[in-house]
Every structure is written in structure tokens, then in C-alpha cells.
Structure 1
């Protein structure tokens, strides 16, 4: 009767073929670790605002967008006070999740001079329908693909949503955030204004 092949023989030495299996496992583990580090690095890079294009702040103040109500929303009207500008879409769950918090922030801070503008990177009909279910107190502009380009010029190279930019009363970018805003972000931004 023959004994089953095991990792080691009676002499304690590895059986034939065991060393290549261990090397393969080590190689696979190394490749998996490198992929995990690379993926984490890519995710980190993707979630970081990048350098803004030269003149992006000035371009923002020249922009005007249609509103869901059919009027024009001129960004120049928001100059001179701190502004939280939020790029969002109806199909973006974290965007939808943060909108009530941004609405509360606006209501609580508008008397302190804070302004909030939402730029919807979406179809106008979708935004109108959405706003009937969740009305917002702050102005919303229908930015469409032009809003994506504006976001890229402000450092959102991947076009990810939500993307939030905080401007000083002088129109300079103070803060940028890729991803969902937290209550702590809002507290920090108000305190550092």
C-alpha cells in the first residue's frame, strides 16, 4: 500500500512539487498585495481634488445656468459672501443623501451671510421631478455637461459626484471636497471662513 503524497516525507524533507506550490502562493500573495495597494492608491487619488485650471475661479463667476423654474441663475449674484457650491445629480445616492443636510446648513447659516448653490449635473426633467419630492430652499442650476467641465476646471478631474467647493467672499476657493459632505466638514468650513 502506498502512502498519500504529503508536504513532507518521512525524512522531513519537502515532497517533490511542494516548493513550487509555496512559491506560487507567495507570488499570488505578492500580486494580490500589489493590486490592493494600487487600488487603494487609485481610490485615494480619485477622491482628492486636484490642481485647478488657471483662471477657473474667475470663469465660475461669469457662468449662468437655467433653473428648474425657468429663470437664469447668474453666479455673479453670489459674489461678496461665502458660497458653498455643490455639484450633484439625482442618480447619485451620496448626493441625494447629503442634500437635506445642505438644505439645513443653508437655512441655519443664510442669516450669517452663507450662500449655497446646487449645480445639477443631470437632465432638467429629472431634476424638476426630483425637486417636487425633495424641495430645496437654496438655488439650483441646471448645469448638465457644462457643469462637469466647470467641476473639472475646479480640480474634479474624474468628474465624480458629489463635489463641493467653498468660496470666500472675495471669490477665492477655500475648500474642496470629493465625496459626501459631513456635518464636521460644514462646521470646519464655517469656523475657518
Structure 2
């Protein structure tokens, strides 16, 4: 009898955890872009500005990263490849560096990227939170479709399967 009770309790806990995870995902998916999102501008490491309004009506993959974040650095080649493969179909990857300007400039001098990078600094953490990164971790990515709707969010490093699935959502 105790064994059945234990199994039933474990099953109920697993079901509750699954329901909670599904609710959490839906809650994040329903969170719209911040009202000022398309008005944001970021200094670019090489000079000039990254103006988000210029990217409206394009499928957009926004990736928050830092030079000191090992998982961030691991996924950058995948993001680079994604931009090269899907840029011609309208896709745009944007990297927002939650880091100081000097380390980002030094990193990009050694490992240039095929997509624009904006220097978000510590303010990038607040923007990431407004986009659904409630824990403030890195890397964090947000997929925005042509209509300006958030379609996906991911905390943690992207993998090829994520990008393959996301390519069809833009």
C-alpha cells in the first residue's frame, strides 16, 4: 500500500510540474514587446548606431550575450551561420552585448560576426527582463516575427535544432 501511495504521489508531483512548466511557457509567450522596443538605439562597437526601428517588419532573432559568458561564445558561430543562411530571406540576427564596450570591441576584432551587435551594457539586462528573462541569465534569445510579435524565447544556449525550428516561424 505504501508503495502505491508513493508512486501516486510521485506521479501527481510530475503532472503538477509539467502543468506548471506549460503554464510558465504560455505566460512568457503572451508577454508582448515593451512599448518602446522599436524606438531603442544602441551604439555599435565599430561606430554608428543600431536602430531597432530599421529592422521592423523583418523576422528578428535578438540575442543577449557577453564576452565573459562561455555558453554565449559557444552559440555565436551558430547565430553567425543562421544569419548567413537566412539573411537573404529577410531574417536578421541582432546581438545585444551585456558587457563593456572595450571587451566587445576586442572580441569582435578577433572574431567578427555577420550580424550587427549593439552595446547594451547593463541596461541590456533590464531590456532582457522586459522581454521575458525574469532570472537575468545569459545567453537569452527572443524570436520576433514580421508582425512584431514575440514567437519564442530561450534562456540558455541555442542549438541547431532550435534555430532549425525557429527558421520556419519568422
TM over 0.5: yes
Matched, 1:104 2:87: no
1:51 Cα shift?
3.7
TM-score by length of 1: 0.72
**1:155 paired residue number:** 132
Residues in 1 aligned to 2:131 and 2:160: alpha-carbon distance in whole angstroms: 23
1:90, 1:130 within 8 Å by CA — same for their partners in 2?
yes
Name the Cα RMSD after superposition: 2.2
Runs of 4+ in 1 over 6 A off after TM superposition: none
Establish whether residue 187 from structure 1 lines up as the match of residue 164 from structure 2.
yes
Specify every segment of 5 or more residues in structure 1 that has no aligned partner in the other structure, as ranges: 1-36
State how 1:124-163 maps to structure 2 within 5 Å: 124-163=101-140
* From 166, 170, 174, the counterpart of 2:151: 174
Contact 1:57-1:173 within 8 A present in 2 as well: no
Using the TM superposition, give the Cα deviation of residue 52 of structure 1 relative to its aligned residue in structure 2, in angstroms. Answer: 7.7
Say which of 95, 100, 111 aligns to 1:123.
100
Cα displacement (A) at 1:68: 0.2
Alpha carbons 1:164, 1:178 under 8 Å: kept: yes
User: TM-score under structure 2 normalisation?
Assistant: 0.81
What runs of 5+ residues in structure 2 fail to find an aligned partner? 1-12
Please give the alpha-carbon distance, in whole angstroms, between the structure 2 residues aligned to 1:52 and 1:145.
24
| Contact 1:53 1:154 (C-alpha < 8 Å) held by counterparts | no
Q: Give 1 or 2 for the bigger CA radius of gyration.
A: 1
User: Contact 2:63/2:141 (CA < 8 Å) preserved in 1?
Assistant: yes
- What SS does the corresponding residue of 1:61 show, helix, strand or coil? helix
Q: Do residues 113 (structure 1) and 113 (structure 2) align?
A: no
Q: 1:60 to 1:52 in 2, by over 3 A?
A: farther
Q: What is the rounded CA distance, in whole Å, between the counterparts of 1:118 and 1:173 in structure 2?
A: 17
